[in-house]
Amino acid sequence: MKKINSTSVVLMVAVCSVVLFCGNLVVLVEGSGLCNIDEEGLMACKPAITAPQPSAPTKYCCDLLRKANLECLCSYKDSSMLPYLGIDPNLAMELPSKCGIAPPSMC
């Protein structure tokens, strides 16, 4: 169950990164960004969830996840955009645990 929760968080980060970066979807954000993460921050985690050779999450990425609204990020867990954008869902599930972050219980 923990992997599913972790996936939710990471998948949201990946989806939001691509959405904001590529402009494929219209996302209205003010000040703090999407789920308390700005575009630059969202892109910081993408290398850690991209196959075939993901990098370890950076301190910046992990710090970002600690400040993010994880429940908000979980709302994007079932996005069909992830595989299209090159995001590996299995790697996404692992990111919070690699950062030492407990996922929200209802994710």
Per-residue model confidence (pLDDT) at position 27: 43
Count structural domains, the chain: 1
With contact defined as beta carbons under 8 Å apart, do 8 and 16 qualify?
Answer: no
The domain spanning residue 48 has which CATH number?
1.10.110.10
CA distance 29 to 87: 23
pLDDT of 31-81, one tens digit each?
446 678 787 877 889 999 898 999 999 999 999 989 988 787 777 777 787
CA distance 7 to 101: 12
User: CB burial class (10 A; 0-12, 13-18, 19+) of residue 33?
Assistant: middle
Domain that holds residue 35: 2-98
Domain-embedded: residue 72? yes
pLDDT of 7-29, one tens digit each?
655 555 655 555 544 443 434 34
Amino acid at 30: E
Domain-embedded: residue 104? no
Domain-embedded: residue 21? yes
Domain-embedded: residue 103? no
Task: Provide the percentage of residues in the chain whose pLDDT is more than 90.
Answer: 21
Domain-embedded: residue 85? yes
Q: What is the pTM of this model?
A: 0.64
